[in-house]
Amino acid sequence: MFASQRRDEIYKLAQDRQFISVAELSSMYQVSEVTIRSDLKLLEQQGKITKNYGGASILREDVQPLSTTSQLLSDIKAAIAHEASALIEEGDSLFLDSSSTTILMADAIARMSNVTVITNSIPIFDKLKEYRNGTVIGIAGTLSPYTQSFVGPFAEEMIAKLRVSKAFIAPKGLLPEGLRDTSVQEAAIRNKMIASADKVVVLADHSKFNNENVVFSISSFDKVRHVVTDQTPIEPFIHFFQQKGIEVRVANLT
């Protein structure tokens, strides 16, 4: 990978995740932390990011929790979460991955009965910690402070030993060849969840389609039964989903 391409991807990661550590970027791109710091310095000089030296992390310069863009993204995620929650039935056992959309799904699940939720996400666990009408199982592992989730070999091994009726997965990129992620550890967790589920529901807003800047492969679409999004997908996805027998559900934003 060329340095310019790596810096472009780092900038997109910062936009998507708000912050990411030097150590994680070094591991992700298999380059030294000195090289990553050089990349960050150049991106900061270009006015694209703001560095947080104390945390050895990078921040989006334009993070504004109450901005119009942030509110729009929040509304889209809420609509997708609402539409996805309609696929949950009494008696279901679920994997919920660590994503902002599945966190929103937890609000709907809290009002349901007889649902088993298995997750590596601390925010989801926190939302469901008083869930008395069903069961919540936490996946143990190594804490990722950036995603507030448990990852790593212990978490992957635990997931592989379980079996659920549905997995709700929110990848960072969708290409015809499969689902992708920005984190190799989260990609591995999502891969295990997909393998251990009878049906897979993919949650993705329109910006995730054909996102070729996402590096790590999660899985193919072989086990995906539903894609929940905010806009009718562009080609070649319409034809591809029809061939695969995948139902596309477009969330209502009004």
Tell me: do 185 and 150 sit in the same domain. yes
The domain that holds 18 is classified in CATH as: 1.10.10.10
Write out the DSSP string of 59-124: EETT--TTSHHHHHHHHHHHHHHHHHHTT--TT-EEEE-SSHHHHHHHHHHTT-SS-EEEESBHHH
Tell me: do 168 and 230 sit in the same domain. yes
Tell me: do 37 and 130 sit in the same domain. no
Residue where one domain finishes, among candidates 43, 60, 77: 60
Tell me: do 97 and 146 sit in the same domain. yes
Task: Give 162-197 pLDDT, tens digit per residue.
Answer: 999 999 999 999 999 999 998 889 999 999 999 999
What's the sign of the alpha-carbon dihedral 60, 67, 80, 230?
A: negative
Tell me: do 52 and 160 sit in the same domain. no
The structure tokens 């990852």 sit at: 151
Q: How many domains does the chain have?
A: 2
DSSP letter assigned to residue 172: S
The domain that holds 84 is classified in CATH as: 3.40.50.10470
- CA dist 58 and 1 (Å) reads 21
Task: Give 82-98 pLDDT, tens digit per residue.
Answer: 999 999 999 999 999 99
pLDDT band at 139 (very low <50, low <70, confident <90, very high): very high
Domain that holds residue 12: 3-60
pLDDT at 68: 45
The structure tokens 């509110």 sit at: 71
Tell me: do 51 and 73 sit in the same domain. no
- CA dist 160 and 195 (Å) reads 8
- CA dist 29 and 6 (Å) reads 8
Tell me: do 26 and 94 sit in the same domain. no
pLDDT at 55: 42
Quick check: 42 pLDDT over 90?
A: no
pLDDT band at 73 (very low <50, low <70, confident <90, very high): low
Quick check: 62 pLDDT over 90?
A: no
What's the sign of the alpha-carbon dihedral 24, 19, 42, 213?
A: positive
The structure tokens 């009002």 sit at: 111
CB neighbours of 46 closer than 8 A, spacing ≥ 6? none
Tell me: do 132 and 187 sit in the same domain. yes
Tell me: do 22 and 102 sit in the same domain. no
**What mean pLDDT do residues 137-142 have?**
95
Write out the DSSP string of 36-52: HHHHHHHHHHTTSEEEE
pTM: 0.76
Tell me: do 49 and 163 sit in the same domain. no
Residue where one domain finishes, among candidates 35, 60, 85: 60
The HSE-up count of residue 38 (CA atoms within 13 Å, CB side) is 8
Q: What does the mean pLDDT of the chain come to?
A: 87
Which tokens hold the place of 225? 């039964």
Tell me: do 104 and 87 sit in the same domain. yes
Give the angle 226-176-251 at the CA atoms, nearest 5°.
Answer: 35
Tell me: do 121 and 233 sit in the same domain. yes
